[in-house]
A and B are shown apart, each in its own frame.
Chain A
């Protein structure tokens, strides 16, 4: 038992020595003049990660910032903890687990927008600050890599020395069996100089969705054993819990570090950073944050919705510089309250520039206009936000009706003249029919929109376009598109429009039975969107919809 274990034992002895790299900064000697010169001569790296607004920092910037900068302040540990609000425990954990080498692999997991990558890169920057030569950091951003081959290429290119010109000779490995020896060779070249290499895999959970992703994930998690290079420290960042990665084989499980979501107070602290007027913003947050927190706890979504709300909040104030007192605060709150109620009921989408300007210029009085303005931002408006050709709109409406109404109703709704049968035959609803309606309602909830063959779609389309033609003839519209000759134009590119709608996912093609001939389609839009489309072409959709 002695031989294989001894290497580890000396490791532990070396970590137990009081002068390990992760010792607190107070015991570190001041850098000598020569070191300061060297540090000054080091290539300029971009500034420290932005501490201002709570927008999630772009990872490229962080990566560049993860390159060690010369230590300018006396207490870099405190600076690190300051840059990671609410993450003190996790940062300390990371420093503890990553500092000694050889280190076991580490898995960071937690929900989205919890600061995992940021904490990791800042901690690595802090660790690599004190080591000369700087250990290389290989970062594989799995979310932006489309395939295993791209992943292998990315890692190997980061490991290759920039002076090497033999890159053209070596092909990028396609299969893991070629990649692991290539990686081992590249790493052996680096660690032979005695330094550590940090290999980071970010967003490991996306690999599961790749082709043969399951095998690749278990391979990546086993790299520690396959490489057998103790100076390589592997770090995995994942939004999926470790349960997702348990395999049947006994692998070295990485050490887990869990990143919980931020609490209300931590979010408060994060959002307060870099605000020009802290008192005003904190009075704003004290009324707004708690209700919005009940809906979602993600900082990025909250930041997106708070921005326009804050603008609304400050509207009654002349300038943004004042410190509000009690009376002003109450007034501001009353002004904000209707907007808050609306904002809570909308999904937090980032507004586009144009509609923001509309908001600013719009009238800010009355609840009706408030709803419209807010709605214009977030898509609950009564108007369609994108452009569609008229024939496409009619096609969409026909698809919606075809999916929604049972086929037997077509004859009643669309008679020969294309008009609806407006006689509402009122029948006494018996208990059986009520039950039947309930079960049909249940089915509609469960199964979703039904499928229809192409012929039915085209038939309905022809009916409703002829209806609109009639209606517009009555109204004597001057619009040339809707003139009689224009109808042929509508019909001619129907099939083209159909394929466009399928590609945009408004319609989807179901599996077609080979006996039946042409394929069956299904409409994917919901009632709100259909009503909007109908309104935009002045089509009385509700008359045609099957009411249960």
Chain B
């Protein structure tokens, strides 16, 4: 629930700044960028310099920066200014040695400094990731942001979509709003909302959904309709692997079916040569028209690897030729069976080879 946390924090900080101008300085760090200690101290020093109109030298070493930070904290404390450190992606700071966290929290322990460290994270157990010495300096105050209920989400949607601008023509605004209210009251809409939030009820997902809904708006009339919502929902609920399976050629499907059969026969590991053996035995048994040379099959095999429907089972074998490296399927048998059924050009023999294993 990143959006809400970050924005609530921003709101609070804005309010505080208005209440107490000049008494607060905010230092922002992000775990994605500044998880390395040297980068972090450099960034802290840079932001401190920026806040207090000091010149920042890029050549300063990490120790210099740390000393500078400690000095600044002391000075700010003496001047009764609070320094607020906002650490986003807090769990990424907890990787490695946690030197930065320790030095920050340690610096706060001195009597003269007035500093607050606020960490924002997606992980519920972010504080469990801390080392003992860091955790002992942590105040164990956690604020949990829970995803909102269905009603809350609906209210959010209404708030976002309803027009209140007076710059647009009045009758357009009233028609738009009335249309929207009727949609919100519709039972189908409740179903759509339920299906959306079952998968992911975070605000960012709702925003993405609403963006899509608005993008489907009818350009002529400028009004939203139920189709916009249903279209947007179907776009959000695509399954990439099944889509990918629909795009395969017949030979590639043959390879997948052979691999499925090998996995069924409880072969723990198999490689391209074993797949070819299975393929040839199928061709001999059924005498289909789809018998191709090994090089062609290998090209199809490489296509499957590119699409990430199969992958190598060993991550280290670099010295072995591709035909000998063990592979495994990345799709389930059920997905494969489902896609074969949906495929109109699929030969019946493939279905038969798979159906024997009763996956549907």
Contact = CB atoms under 8 A, between A and B. Distances in A.
A249 B247 CA distance: 31
B36 interface: yes
Contact of A256 (B159, B165, B211, B238): B238
A8 interface: yes
B243 to A, nearest CB: 6
A345 B212 CA distance: 46
B176 interface: yes
Interface string A216-239: 001100100110000000000001
A445 interface: yes
A330 interface: no
Contacts of B308: 240-241, 243-244
B159 A180 contact: no
Contacts of B33: 176-177, 180, 219, 226
Contacts of B295: 346-347, 380
B1 A250 contact: yes
A376 to B, nearest CB: 15
Interface in B136-188: 156, 159-161, 163, 165, 168, 176
Contacts, number: 181
Interface residues of B, number: 77
Contacts of A222: 32
A27 to B, nearest CB: 9
Given A4-B10, A12-B161, A445 B247 contact: no
A116 to B, nearest CB: 13
A345 B249 contact: no
Contact of B32 (A109, A215, A448): A215
Interface in B28-48: 30, 32-34, 36, 39, 43
A258 B240 contact: yes
Interface string B114-127: 00000000110000
Interface in B318-354: 319-321, 323-324, 326
B336 to A, nearest CB: 16
A24 B43 contact: no
A497 B355 CA distance: 53
A175 interface: yes
Interface in A4-18: 4-5, 8-10, 12-13, 15-18
Interface residues of A, number: 75
Contacts of A346: 293, 295-296
Interface string A329-348: 00000000000000011111
A294 B249 contact: yes
Contacts of B215: 15, 96-97, 100
Interface stretch (B62-70, B97-105, B189-197, B298-306): B298-306
A402 to B, nearest CB: 16
A255 B212 contact: yes
A515 interface: no
A294 B32 contact: no
B250 interface: yes
Contact of B296 (A13, A18, A347): A347
A251 B222 CA distance: 31
B225 interface: no
B251 A296 contact: yes
Interface stretch (B16-24, B78-86, B269-277, B279-287): B269-277
A242 B89 CA distance: 22
A113 B14 CA distance: 50
Contact of B39 (A16, A97, A175, A225): A175
Contacts of A22: 219
A297 B307 CA distance: 13
B359 interface: no
A134 interface: no
A250 B202 CA distance: 9
Interface in B213-266: 214-217, 219-220, 222, 235, 238, 240-241, 243-244, 246-251
A345 B291 CA distance: 9
B112 interface: no
Interface string A250-268: 1111011010110000000
10 contacts: A177-B34, A177-B36, A219-B32, A250-B204, A256-B235, A256-B240, A258-B243, A295-B296, A347-B298, A348-B299
Interface of B: 1-3, 7-8, 10-11, 14, 30, 32-34, 36, 39, 43, 89, 122-123, 156, 159-161, 163, 165, 168, 176, 202, 204-205, 207-208, 210-212, 214-217, 219-220, 222, 235, 238, 240-241, 243-244, 246-251, 269-271, 273-274, 277, 290, 292-293, 295-296, 298-300, 303, 306-308, 319-321, 323-324, 326
List of 3 A-B pairs having minimum Cβ-Cβ separation, nearest first = A448-B324, A241-B240, A4-B7
Given A18-B222, A175-B39, A346-B295, 9 more contacts: A10-B165, A97-B211, A176-B33, A215-B32, A258-B238, A295-B250, A296-B251, A445-B277, A448-B320
